[in-house]
Structure 1
Amino acid sequence: MDAERLGHVLVVDDEPVLAGVVASYLDRAGFDATITGDGLEAVDLARRIDPTVVILDLGLPGLDGVEVCRRIRTFSDCYVIMLTARTDEVDVLIGLSVGADDYVTKPFSARELVARVQAMLRRPRARGAQADPARRFGELTVDVAAREASLAGRLVDLTPTEFDLLAVLTERPRLAFSRRRLIETIWGEAGGGDQHLVDVHVANLRRKLGDDPARQRYIVTVRGVGYRMGAG
């Protein structure tokens, strides 16, 4: 791959015209793009080309986007953006629960989708990481430089967005972050206005950390505001 390119994006959509338009915009923005409309082939391609981002249609025939995402998450921590033509919130929540980082509802602007990809890759993933010691909250340790979180010494398998959310919250543990601020910090201006996206990722984080929502040892809900870190 050309060293000047920004990354490799796998576009998975069974509408070839739409996929072609998206790939064309990605190419002009400096990305390499590979297209497939088949779920099984998408999983195989994700293994072989190790994409930076996967743009994945939720409504694929056969092996649907949810199952494709689930399988990709067993071997890759690439960013995953779900495309959905469905208005049912349950479908979106299922997609996010299996490891998608974000979603875009059809119809959409290819230009805006590419902007969403660019915003994801501009996240401040290692800001000050070289001088930043591991952050500890009870049994939870967050190592920003290594992008690892461990609980009682055992690594916790987090998606990129889940780790980014945890890194932001632990950077200023006494600060209550509003959902809007978390959207702007993690997803950027291209992230849209769906603040419920934060709630879903917080729920996923709590589940993986074994954090009972009633006790909230690690992630505390601040009513009327958003979230902050707990003492652990």
Structure 2
Amino acid sequence: MSTPADELQTAVIIEDDPEIRHVLAEVLESSGFSTVSVGNGIDGVRAVLTYKPVLTTIDVHMPGIDGIEAAKRIRAQSDTFIIMLTGLADEADVIAGLGAGADDYLVKPFRPRELRARVEALLRRARTATEATAPAALPTQGSVGPSFPNARPATTSIPTTPVVDMPVIVDSTVERLGDGEWLAHRDLRLHPENRIALIGDEELDLTRTEFDLLATLLESKRRVRSKADLTLVLRGESYVTSYFVGDADKRAVEAHMTNLRRKLGESAANPRYIETVRGVGYRLTSEVI
């Protein structure tokens, strides 16, 4: 059954190739979106501010301002989910796109089914964060794809100062305070419900994905989480589905971790909060300083 026009959610497509714009519009419209397509970054930023879309796709390489700059300008003014599209499986492009505020990326040429799966994963995370409801079912192999008539982007409410006094954290991964549960490691504190992350008294400016990765690692304590594990977390899944966790997914996790570590003020070579377990994944560092 088709979705009533007044219930359709909007997706903005920023892509200079008209054939790819057409493919993107077909896939997203079949998934329950109304679409607005533009051919350059400047018009794309304007379209996002005008139509306030749930989802925005951005090509990295465009004339005028490129997709990285467009994503930065959009992220500064909008909470739309951003998927970057690039023709190069280049790690520098991936890190730059995710660092600009993108939530996910796809390498062209991509399969329509893969795009639908990525979109559903982003919207599932939004529903989980805002409504605490069970995740919607993924489309089966060969299906047209689900509709998302009730999807909304996750909203973050961050007060200027914490609403409770912070106790000194001493060798404790979880501290229960008056307004809920804070996860803590060394001088790093995170409140999953209020979406607040602090180092000492300084609030961190994290993207949705960086916050979710950090929360997962804090909850896991010293248990190693593989890149495949973390990919499923970002998709809102707790078990392997028919959608394969591929190299592109793992590179995306690596790029997000690089950006997260930069914001935490640490490096993989000298970690204070998150250490890499070579060939396996990531976990918290020891509490011993």
Q: Does the pair score TM above 0.5?
A: yes
Give the match for residue 21 of structure 1: 23
Distance (Å, rounded) in 2 between the aligned partners of 1:39 and 1:172: 40
1:161 to 209, 213, 222: 209
CA deviation after TM superposition for structure 1 residue 2, in Å: 5.8
Q: TM-score, normalised by structure 2?
A: 0.71
Give the match for residue 140 of structure 1: 188
Equivalent residue letter for 2:247: G
Equivalent residue letter for 2:223: L
CA deviation after TM superposition for structure 1 residue 122, in Å: 1.3
CA deviation after TM superposition for structure 1 residue 226, in Å: 0.7
| 1:92-114 alpha-carbon deviations (Å, 9 max, x no partner) | 33222322222211122233212
Gaps of 5+ in 1: none
CA deviation after TM superposition for structure 1 residue 3, in Å: 6.6
Does 2:227 correspond to 1:225? no
The farther-off stretch of 69-78 and 177-186 is 69-78
| 1:51-76 alpha-carbon deviations (Å, 9 max, x no partner) | 22211101111111111112222223
Q: Determine if contact 1:177/1:227 at 8 Å carries over to the other structure.
A: yes
Equivalent residue runs for 1:1-232 within 5 Å: 4-5=7-8, 7-123=9-125, 124-125=128-129, 133-187=181-235, 189=243, 192-194=246-248, 195-230=250-285, 231=287
Q: Percentage identity across aligned positions?
A: 40
Partner of 1:134: helix, strand, or coil? strand
Distance (Å, rounded) in 2 between the aligned partners of 1:160 and 1:3: 28
Q: TM-score, normalised by structure 1?
A: 0.86
Distance (Å, rounded) in 2 between the aligned partners of 1:175 and 1:225: 11
Q: Determine if contact 1:116/1:190 at 8 Å carries over to the other structure.
A: no
RMSD: 2.6
Q: Determine if contact 1:125/1:164 at 8 Å carries over to the other structure.
A: no
CA deviation after TM superposition for structure 1 residue 40, in Å: 0.7
Q: 1:26 to 1:92 in 2, by over 3 A?
A: same
Distance (Å, rounded) in 2 between the aligned partners of 1:177 and 1:225: 8
| 1:163-197 alpha-carbon deviations (Å, 9 max, x no partner) | 11112112222211011111122136476432122
- Looking at secondary structure, tell me which structure has more helix per residue: 1
Equivalent residue letter for 2:77: F
Q: 1:169 to 1:66 in 2, by over 3 A?
A: same
- Larger Rg, first or second structure (1 or 2): 2
Distance (Å, rounded) in 2 between the aligned partners of 1:168 and 1:155: 19
Q: 1:213 to 1:112 in 2, by over 3 A?
A: closer
Q: 1:167 to 1:77 in 2, by over 3 A?
A: farther
Distance (Å, rounded) in 1 between the aligned partners of 2:273 and 2:260: 10
